[in-house]
Amino acid sequence: MNESEVAALVSQVLKEMTGQAAPAPAAASAPAAKAAAPVSNGDIPKTAHVAMLTALHKFEVQEYPIPPVGDDDILVKVEGCGVCGTDVHEWNKDPFGLIPVVLGHEGTGTIVAMGKNIKTDTQGNPVKIGDKIVTSVAVCNSCAMCRLHPELPNLCENARIQGLLPDKESNHLQGWFSDYMLIEKGATFFNVSDMTLDQRMLIELAAVAVHAVRRATDTGLMPLGATIVIQGMGPVGLMVCAVLKTRGYRNIVAVDGSEMRLEMAHKFGASHIINYTDFKSTEEKVNCVKSITYGLGADFAFQCTGAPPAAAEVWKFVRTGGGMCEMGFFTNNGDCTINPHLDICSKEITVVGSWTYGALEYPDTISFVKQCCEMGIPLTDLITHRYGLDEMNEAMETNVAKKGIKIAYVNKNF
């Protein structure tokens, strides 16, 4: 496409968006030519469709005008988005009080328009029209945690992420469960144009696991020869398994009640699998773990289920002097009962919690996803079901019924 054809295309797009033709282009050498209004690599429609959560268990496809793209904004044509357990909790109980809301925070898509101030992504990589991106968490830089502990961005009291933002009249396109999304000033995003759609849809989930493994290894209780139990082989637990495998761990014990998920765990690097339905009591399960670990128990455990009974049981798998990372409760699923003397003090167990991730953990996460491909770990096999925008209620029901592993929305019109 030559310069005159580009100018004609810009004029056509602006005419459709504003009803006015674009001014005549300046000479190619004029600096002003580089500061033009947002343009696209194709026609931008006037409206977009979203799956709006309007009530519990009720997504409705709604249509809204696409807002103007500001100087610091990015308009993305959505390709797809993973369905997170957090989305399911919001659909089921609205624990965050966001309804009505456009959910979806594990998404990716193609830049079709962007403001003149957008030159690079959060890591400093150049971005342009046509590039593929993912979004991450943005901090407020003003709360007590941001001011006093900027090294802990994942604990910002006012963290913002696309797909978990209150709906607003000026921009309904704030979540990835849509066909277009307007990313406004202050968001964090990364250029991932060299990755497949399925790889990109798993980056956010992978960041959760990468952060948790970092928290665990920081305890100093996970040498490469350690035996590690992962309790719960849903998407989070399976991702933790893959992260550990790429980090060089070989003694990984996967615990779950689903043979399908345990088979996937084996593909992801688990050396031992335990189907808890084969045992009648916690004691029998603990003895099974001890039989693998010279009678001691696991050096470290990751609790990934979000189920209070499992959270009460995981301590029993850990040896004296070992450690445990709790990462299963991203919403309040209730209390569990432990014995502080028997489970923690007398065994001198080190416990860490893991909460989301920081945006600057994305580069490491992106590298991990690519490394899985290089090592032959079939990471994208996690995605077992794909649904369109008008099928989001069915997608949630499939997730709740545990009929698959990772559920995803994929834009059928891309």
pLDDT in tens, 293-337: 999 999 999 999 999 999 999 999 999 999 999 999 988 889 999
DSSP3 helix / strand / coil % (the chain, rounded to 5): 35, 25, 40
The CATH class for the domain spanning 206-353 reads alpha beta
Q: How far apart are the C-alpha atoms of 297 and 187, rounded to whole Å?
A: 44
Q: How far is CA 179 from CA 19, 61, 126, 174, 227, in A?
A: 23, 11, 24, 11, 44
Encode pLDDT of 204-234 as tens digits: 999 999 999 999 999 999 999 999 999 999 9
pLDDT at site 414: 82
Residue position matching structure tokens 């039989």 = 291
In this predicted structure, what is the pLDDT of residue 41?
56
pLDDT above 50 for 360 = yes
Encoded amino acid at 180, one letter:
Y
What pLDDT, on the 0 to 100 scale, is given for residue 59?
98
Domain edges within the chain: 38-194+378-410, 206-353
Whether the per-residue pLDDT at 29 is higher than 70: the answer is no
pLDDT digits (tens, 9 = 90+) for 72-95: 999 999 999 999 999 999 999 999
Amino acid at 185: K
pTM: 0.88
Q: What pLDDT is attached to residue 24?
A: 41
Instruction: Determine how many CB atoms are found less than 10 A away from the CB of residue 253.
Output: 23
Average pLDDT, the chain: 91
| Helices of type H across 154-229 | 197-201, 203-217
Yes or no: is domain 38-194+378-410 CATH 3.90.180.10? yes
- Give the percent of the chain with pLDDT over 90: 88
